[in-house]
Structure 1
Amino acid sequence: MDDQNKNLLLATALSFLVILLWFVLFPPAEAPEQASLTAPESATQQQAPADGVASAPVATEPGAAIPPAATSGVTGDASAGAVEQTQDDTPRITIDTPTLKGSISLRGGRIDELSLKGYRETLDPDSEIVTLLSPVGSDQPYYALFGWAPGAGLTPDQVPGANTMWQVESGGPLTPENPIVLSWDNGAGLTFRREVQIDDKLMFTVTQSVTNAGGETRALAPYGILARHGLPADLKNFFILHEGGIQMVDGELTEIDYDDFEPASAHETIAVEEATWTGFTDHFWMTTLIPASGSGTHISTFQDTRRAIYQTTARQPTVTLAPGESATASTRLFAGAKEWDTIRSYQNEAGIPKFIDSIDWGWFFFLTKPIFAVLHWLNQVIGNMGWAIIALTFCIKALLFPLAYKSYVSMAKMKELQPQMEKLKETAGDDRQKLQKEMMALYKREKVNPASGCLPILLQIPIFFSLYKVIFVTLELRHAPWIGWIRDLSVPDPSSLYNLWGLLPWDAPEPGSVLALIFIGFLPLCLGVSMWLQQKLNPAPTDPTQQMIFAWMPWVFMFMLGNFASGLVLYWITNNTLTFTQQYLIMRSHGYKPDVFGNIKSSFKRKSGAEDK
């Protein structure tokens, strides 16, 4: 076997091995069953830290993750026209923005009902819009809660908690132009107010204030809590994707899988020195608390194991109020889709440190970040994500062209040296050491690198995985159409050989089923053909075993990659087509004329000859 075929075989085998290992190490798995939610026999309490302020532990109310419980102690109805009545008769304030809809419960002032107007559950235009937050009592409670932890001279019922009934002081419904103000008097000299604002995208700003009209000094600390009951129903549990807790503390990103949440009784509270944020991230959605105060903030993330409630808390520094004094604290809440452009604007314009890292870029972040930035820009220019992927492939091939050029020139020279190599083999006979020495001298004299042929292929492997990460993780590929039947580039090709790609009057197999893996779609078939044609640039090796490996390789890859996202298969087809064109033109320009049709004919002749035998 000549060195060119060795290089090609080596590169192909390595590519096959890497993809095979990827499936073995990172197999998709079914989401684990939801843990049952049971109320504890008694309240979970935590000891107060050294500053004398409780750290907002898991709360006493059954079915809710809250700080020490508080009762309202105040009667009176909310202002007319500002609230809606839910089934449990809890007053609510409507949230209505260009991107969000939902409501705030006046019980605890929880932001616990939120849906995303711009995103639907499926491609069906009549399907439900995506629900992000849900109140206690729903199938999967998930909410944001704000309040004050009691310090010196205060008891839990003297600060607003999860059951406090707030009054609407002004505003309602909550819109970008119309903030709301809630108030509550504890009956013991402290008056609490909470102003909630929202922009036209995905950011709430919650400003809490307290005034001490009593005769004694009080100490208390503002906090924000994100809590979700049980695991998400759509948990992917796929190793390539992080879902769970996420924190940026003092410039360091921490990702916490749901399995790694510490119990409430043993969790670690982190003292923050710089600006920070903490929250929960799903595949495409995220909620994040961003305290205004950096230094002195304490972050804690834990699980109430009794009730399977996952919770992250940001408690800001303790304030001490003498009689007549007031204090104010602000926390922002991001709640919505992980849109790259929106998150980047919050990082660059709103000063949220490294907020773009909330998107799971993975180990190859140095590739995935620029790849997606270019892809996003191309999509904005072209207006179609499928054509943007094709354009991105052209950009990558142009970037790697100098290396590819050297590689293909080397391959062409290797073809020119074939007669001299055959003579060396005849001269050396069975002396393999002599043959190797003379071959290396020939390569050196003719300035040919026999290993350069596989470099472009090997460089495609990290790019391939980076693009796979981008397509799988980023929201912008979700429900992004290309042409015709390709209506979602983030999922496998829905067409199938099973029904002749829609020509026969029955449905294609369900994605992920055995039939779907066997009866592949049109794009995977094009992938196999493009790889097969690329092989035909060179004559098949003379060794029968090598012939068999080369003959099967394109079709093995076709079935392996057929269940990948359509966007990734589209990239691979485009890359193969460009590689074929580049290699063909460069080899012709250096005197070697690939006989593609002749190689195809000879491969069929060998097959028919083998069958006759």
Structure 2
Amino acid sequence: MDIRRLILFIAISFGILFFWQKWMDKRYPQAQTTAQTATASGTAAAPGAAGAAPQDAAALAKGQRIKVTTDLFAAEIDTNGGDLRQLQLLKHGAQGDTTQPFTLLQDSGAHTYVAQTGLIGNGLPTHKSTFTSSQAAYALADGQNKVEVRLDATGPDGVKVTKIYTFTRGSYVINVGYDITNGSTKPLATSAYFRLLRDGKPADQSTGPSMFGGAHTFTGPAVYTEEGKFQKVDFSKIDKGEASYTQSAKDGWVAMIQHYFASAWIMSPLDQPSACGAAACRYELKKLPDGLYSAGAIIDLPAIPAGGKKDVTVELYAGPQETAIIDHIAPGFDLIKDYGIFTVFSKPIFWLLDHIHKVVGNWGWSIIILTMLIKALFYPLASKSYRSMAKMRKLAPRLEQLKERHGDDRMKFQQATMELYKTEKVNPLGGCLPMLVQIPIFISLYWALLAAVELRQAPWILWIHDLSVKDPYYVLPVLMTVSMYVQTLLSPPPPDPMQAKMMKIMPLIFSVFFFFFPAGLVIYWVVNNVLSITQQWYITHSINKADKTSAA
């Protein structure tokens, strides 16, 4: 009976995972977009601003590159528009080659993904204007906390604009702003736009686990405001015109999300004044030519009087979705880490796992300790289940006698079986509850590990160098298969010989799924099985010992 419940449990778990992924594929198809013949504005004209932003060309023009190196970044800023065109994360290895840094932003290669800003107004510098810099390279020196990159451009009638990037040691937040000096003889009306420009191709999913080798994780824009809350918009809906997103708010942020990493313009950082000022920021998600998409915000600046100055600065987050970091960026920013439909369980599970890791310092051992804590939590239910199974095992010879007595009359056999259970006070379904309770725990841990960039390229022991991908030598899945088979030997055998044979090979069939699961998840399942075997043996041994004592 136990193995049938175990298989039912696993089947339900995989069924939920399978149909959830199918539903996600249908709701968030990651189709690559084709080039569009229509043109679109780089950003909308702001009320009161003189003129509109220039139209986007089919390709990003390139100028001189300014290289910036810090403790976390290797960045390249192009003088054409002052765009942040390339950004490598030095603390995170590239997929498949940990000796090379992970590239988040780029304007050549597999993706087009850059951060752009500009000013709206006749003659004011946009993302297509040419800037100048006094240096071709900047580096964060030892003992230096910040490095500042200043780019200069001229505007109409004596207007001077300086675009400033500020990189801070130990921070994935880059301050991007403008200093505007109105040297003209009349007030200057302008707005500033900050946007992320990206193609619609999905991010590399090869690090993500799934039942069949590739998990679906969301790639696309997202917006958060206090009023509108968190909203993800997939590229296909923008293509179909089903997600023409425009919203005004005095708070929030706009982001591009992919598996493990994100970039975002933060309008209202945590515990800091909003960059929107007195006026509301206007958020926009839209399609541009050449298969590109824009996710950005516009800030309407107050009129700058003749001879006056004005500055505006917005934070750009570009980095990993590490819980310890994103929790302190902005309200609601932790939502970029997608735990799936079981967030209510996954988030506290990862919180506990993270706190265990702070003590032991290794994610593999943290998962083992977490498994032991979960097992201890459900021990009362498991104990009841195993006691029920032990009684069922003792009744196996009597069930076999009933089967022989009633022959092929299955109705009488079932009636006699239920009568036997009633007489011996055995509940045949007594072992189901612990299995059912563990289903949301198992799936929640699956999504917690899927979302955890903290486990990306995190080693455990020996051959396990990355807990977020499958075991390269399949040692853990084999151990899991063996442990499942041992559980079948400890469980009451079904009366039907054919069914008994099927129950013995079912662990092998279901274990195939685990060959493609991340090593971290398989560690959980192996340890869980070993603890279950130990508990089951101990309880069965205790019952048998008690029976012998009472018989004596």
Same fold (TM over 0.5): yes
- 2:105 aligned with 1:128: no
Distance in 2 (CA, whole Å) between partners of 1:239 and 1:148 is 40
Q: 5+ residue gaps in structure 1? A: 66-87, 496-520, 595-613
1:257-272 equivalences under 5 Å are 257-262=234-239, 267-272=244-249
Structure-2 change in CA distance of 1:139 and 1:191 (3 Å): same
Correspondence for 1:603? none
Cα deviation for residue 228 of structure 1 reads 1.5
Q: 5+ residue gaps in structure 2? A: 209-213, 268-273, 548-552
1:174–1:198 contact (8 Å) kept in structure 2: no
The superposition leaves residues 520-561 of structure 1 with CA deviations (integer Å, 9 ceiling, x where unpaired) of: x22211111100101111342221232122111111122222
Correspondence for 1:145? 116
Q: Tell me the secondary structure at the aligned position of residue 127 of structure 2.
A: coil
Letter in 2 for 1:12: I
Identify which of structures 1 and 2 has the higher relative contact order when contacts are C-alpha pairs closer than 8 Å and 6+ apart: 2
Letter in 2 for 1:471: L
Correspondence for 1:569? 522
Correspondence for 1:353? 331
Distance in 2 (CA, whole Å) between partners of 1:184 and 1:58 is 16
The one of 283, 289, 311 aligned to 1:299: 283
The one of 287, 296, 315 aligned to 2:298: 315
Cα deviation for residue 338 of structure 1 reads 2.1
Correspondence for 1:199? 168
- 2:359 aligned with 1:373: no
Correspondence for 1:245? 221
Structure-2 change in CA distance of 1:542 and 1:417 (3 Å): closer
Cα deviation for residue 314 of structure 1 reads 0.9
Distance in 2 (CA, whole Å) between partners of 1:227 and 1:408 is 57
Distance in 2 (CA, whole Å) between partners of 1:546 and 1:58 is 72
Correspondence for 1:70? none
Structure-2 change in CA distance of 1:60 and 1:569 (3 Å): closer
Distance in 1 (CA, whole Å) between partners of 2:248 and 2:165 is 26
Letter in 1 for 2:312: A
1:416–1:592 contact (8 Å) kept in structure 2: no
Compute the RMSD of aligned alpha carbons.
Answer: 3.7
The one of 243, 256, 261 aligned to 1:285: 261
Cα deviation for residue 417 of structure 1 reads 6.8
Correspondence for 2:310? 327
The one of 129, 136, 161 aligned to 1:164: 129
Distance in 1 (CA, whole Å) between partners of 2:51 and 2:363 is 46
Correspondence for 1:514? none
Correspondence for 2:512? 559
- 2:64 aligned with 1:94: no
Correspondence for 2:83? 110
Q: Tell me the secondary structure at the aligned position of residue 231 of structure 1.
A: coil
- 2:312 aligned with 1:339: no
**Aligned residue pair count:** 520
TM-score scaled to structure 1, two decimals? 0.75
Q: Tell me the secondary structure at the aligned position of residue 536 of structure 1.
A: helix
Structure-2 change in CA distance of 1:240 and 1:54 (3 Å): farther
2:364–2:520 contact (8 Å) kept in structure 1: yes
The superposition leaves residues 73-128 of structure 1 with CA deviations (integer Å, 9 ceiling, x where unpaired) of: xxxxxxxxxxxxxxx6x333331111111222222111112111122224655x43
Distance in 2 (CA, whole Å) between partners of 1:178 and 1:381 is 34
Q: Tell me the secondary structure at the aligned position of residue 490 of structure 2.
A: coil
Correspondence for 1:482? 460
The superposition leaves residues 248-278 of structure 1 with CA deviations (integer Å, 9 ceiling, x where unpaired) of: 22262112222222579982311125x2111
1:103–1:113 contact (8 Å) kept in structure 2: yes
The one of 530, 534, 548 aligned to 2:501: 548
Letter in 2 for 1:528: T
Letter in 2 for 1:409: R
Cα deviation for residue 593 of structure 1 reads 8.8
Correspondence for 1:254? 231
Q: Tell me the secondary structure at the aligned position of residue 108 of structure 1.
A: coil
Distance in 2 (CA, whole Å) between partners of 1:56 and 1:230 is 26
Overall identity of the aligned pairs, in %: 29
Correspondence for 1:74? none
Structure-2 change in CA distance of 1:484 and 1:460 (3 Å): same
